[in-house]
Amino acid sequence: MHSKIRVFAPGTVANIGCGFDILGFALEYPGDYVTIRMISQNEVRINKISGDGGKLPLDPDKNTAGIAVTDFLRKFNIKTGVELEIQKGMEIGSGLGSSAASAAAALFGINYIFDNIADSRQLISCGLKAEAAVSGAPHADNIAPSLMGGLVLIRSLTPLDVIPLNFPEDLYYAVIYPNIELQTKKLRKVLPETITLISAVKQWGNIAGLITGLHNNDYSLISCSLEDFIIEPVRSQFIPLFKEIKLNAVESGALGCSISGSGPSIFSLCRGEETAGKVSESMAKVYEKNNILFDIYVSSINKKGPRIS
Amino acid sequence: MHSKIRVFAPGTVANIGCGFDILGFALEYPGDYVTIRMISQNEVRINKISGDGGKLPLDPDKNTAGIAVTDFLRKFNIKTGVELEIQKGMEIGSGLGSSAASAAAALFGINYIFDNIADSRQLISCGLKAEAAVSGAPHADNIAPSLMGGLVLIRSLTPLDVIPLNFPEDLYYAVIYPNIELQTKKLRKVLPETITLISAVKQWGNIAGLITGLHNNDYSLISCSLEDFIIEPVRSQFIPLFKEIKLNAVESGALGCSISGSGPSIFSLCRGEETAGKVSESMAKVYEKNNILFDIYVSSINKKGPRIS
């Protein structure tokens, strides 16, 4: 048995346009690093968090990595002590699944130490508990792709049913993160409680179209299906220059562009690395011109999920 | 150029459980027959309708076949006279796309006569006009599968975007039609104008799951995804013994069971012909015991759509 291990788990883009709460994909970068060390004291503790600007609590009951590992040990009735050290690779409240990435890294690590006793469904279930605790609502569209890699459908939360989806080899993302913080908890509160049946039908037409396009490598179908009629109009108002970014991205050849998770990060999906590069430049230009600090990430979808690092 | 042609177009199951207004598949039977005859007078007329119990109007402006053909001639600026004879193979208000089947047969026939001048998208567009006129709302989930065959996604109505979907070879239906009439127009009025975001998310999880299951020949995923949380609970109350029928179907091995279109017909999807046979018997038993007249249809999905007959 390993007594110490360091794991990288990827950030994620949840929702993917039309798929609010049911779709997400894993990024090659950024992501979080968590070091898991077995200790003799029978407790879960967090001894250090770096890269968070001092914002995250060391209390393991208030930290997603801590909550997830505690739940893992409880589920498998393991009496042991664990010390976690968390190195954040992305900002809190960036909309890139930061809270889920720390939980995923910790879960992958503790599971590795205990000979992969848990399957991915069980790990996601531990991560869900952590996500619910910090975001106010259980949602698996970050934790599932962070743990499984690839592009993932969460068909149902109760019972938990998570399905990896096919997608074209040549699918790239360009993600831009304007350096402001938005809290998922608050952004869930701006969501409408009800929607019209007409808009719901438009949305599920797009969801069905997106899944079909991803399966069939039909880029034109992916492109017209990405549009989100319900959440994007409400949340985009909290994101600086969202419309301009989206316009630039689509004009530079992006298949589509929408909010990553609850924002403020914005993602574009693109056919091929070259287009993704052009799209990222065109998105960056908007913030450069307006003196808004940002980070930008371009890559293909991460197929593997967490890795020993 | 042919001066007379007789066409069969299939009935259809719209919605397919979770896919309200966006999914439909074509039946091998029942269906409608329409004879199209070129005439010298410059008008569209219907000289005879049989099998409708005298319910349908001979006025071509009030009949889906008449409206669709008139729209076809107008779109392609064809000045000619057409006489239609309609032989209904299913009851009006059965929930099996009766109005769409007559329109589809007439459209396929008139298009055949004019050397297939229209593509399927243009034909569907003519059919949509007819559907809107008689049902009160434009919906393509009957006319599209009746014209195209197979299992069809209507991603969007404006612009019209219709996509044929993959499905397993061994997918069979058992459809039971209790001999009462329900009017689509009235049943659209019982639909909720708004739905909760939570139930919408559950529904689009299932839609994504159903499309994925159909693509991957994953029967267990198809089965758990068919459930409709939104429309079925409202409309099923108008259908005699719906719950008992559904229970019997699922207990006999159906993948799922829900309302065909706006009802009263009930469809089950099954893996293989043998199971479909058992399921149809178990559904029939419920109406037999309760002295409710019914028709029942069992077959694989119709892949071809209309045919010269």
A163-222 residue pLDDT tens: 999 999 999 999 999 998 777 667 767 899 999 999 999 999 999 999 999 999 999 999
CA of A166: which chain B residue's CA is closest? B212
For residues A289 and A183, the answer to whether their CB atoms sit within 8 Å is no
Q: Which of B166, B185, B201 is the last residue before a domain boundary?
A: B166
DSSP 8-state secondary structure symbol assigned to residue A238: G
For residue B96, what are the domain limits?
A: 4-166
Residues A180, A291 within the same domain:
yes
Give A260-294 pLDDT, tens digit per residue. Answer: 999 999 999 999 999 999 999 999 999 999 999 99
pLDDT, tens digit (0-9, with 9 covering 90-100), for B16-68: 999 999 999 999 999 999 999 999 888 999 999 999 888 899 999 999 999 99
The fraction of chain A above a pLDDT of 70, given in percent, is 98
End-to-end CA distance of chain A: 17
Pick the more confident residue, A149 or A55.
A149
Kindly compute the dihedral angle of the four CA atoms of residues B295, B300, B305, B308, in this order, to the nearest 10 degrees: -80
Give the pLDDT score at B181. Answer: 73
* Whether residue B219 sits in one domain with residue B93: no
The candidate with the shortest Cα–Cα distance to A271, out of A259, A253, A257, is: A253
Distance, CA of A305 to chain centre: 11
Across the interface, of A155, A195, A197, the residue whose CB is closest to B205 is A155
**What's at B83, amino acid-wise?**
E
- Nearest-by-CA chain B residue for A137: B198
Interface A-B, measured as beta-carbon pairs within 8 A, has a size of 120
Query: Which residue of chain A comes nearest to B203, CA vs CA?
Result: A204
Per-residue pLDDT at B53 = 85
pTM listed for this prediction: 0.95
Q: How confident is the model at residue A99 (pLDDT cuts 50, 70, 90)?
A: very high
Percent pLDDT > 70 in chain B is: 98
- Would the CA dihedral through B101, B105, B108, B114 be positive or negative? negative
**CATH number, residue A191:** 3.30.70.890
Could you tell me if A50 and A159 lie in one domain? yes
Over residues A299-306, the mean pLDDT reads 97
Angstrom distance (rounded) from CA B252 to CA B267: 14
Q: Which residues of A are the active-site residues?
A: 131, 184
Cross-chain residue pair A195–B194, CB shorter than 8 Å:
yes
Tokens of A225: 């299906």
Task: Give the model confidence (pLDDT) of A123-168 as tens digits.
Answer: 999 999 999 998 878 899 999 999 999 999 999 999 999 999 999 9
Same-domain status, B151 and B31 = yes
Please give the average per-residue pLDDT across B125-148, as a whole number: 93
pLDDT of residue A185: 67
| Chain A residues touching residue B22 (CB < 8 angstroms) | 201, 204-205, 208
Contact A209 B161 (CB under 8 A): yes
Q: What is the DSSP letter of A301?
A: P
**Distance of alpha carbon B243 from alpha carbon A197, whole angstroms:** 24
Q: Is the pLDDT of residue A1 over 80?
A: no
CA dist A260 → A15, A65, A245, A272, B50 (Å): 7, 22, 13, 20, 57
Per DSSP, A156 falls in state: E
The larger pLDDT score, comparing residue A97 to residue B135, is at A97
According to DSSP, the β-strands at B44-50 and B81-87 are parallel
Query: Do B130 and B225 have their domain in common?
Result: no
Rounded to an integer, the average pLDDT of B135-151 is 93
Q: Is the ipTM of this complex over 0.90?
A: yes
Q: Is residue A161 domain-shared with residue A186, that is, in the same domain?
A: no
- Which of residues B166, B198, B223 is at a domain's end? B166
The answer for residues whose C-beta is within 8 angstroms of residue B10's C-beta and 6 or more apart is B26, B27, B28, B29, B30, B31, B101, B104, B145, B146, B149, B302, B305, B306
Query: 3-class DSSP state for residue A117?
Result: coil
Q: At what angle do helices A120-135 and A98-113 cross, to 10 degrees?
A: 140
Whether residue A1 contacts residue A80, with contact meaning beta carbons closer than 8 Å, is answered with no
Report phi then psi at B217, rounded to 5: 50, 40
- For B189, the token pair is 């009025």
pLDDT score, position B92: 86
Domain of residue B122, CATH code: 3.30.230.10
Q: Could you tell me which of B117, B120, B130, B121 has the C-alpha nearest to residue B159?
A: B121
The answer to whether residue A96 scores a pLDDT higher than 80 is yes
Q: Are residues A18 and A69 in the same domain?
A: yes
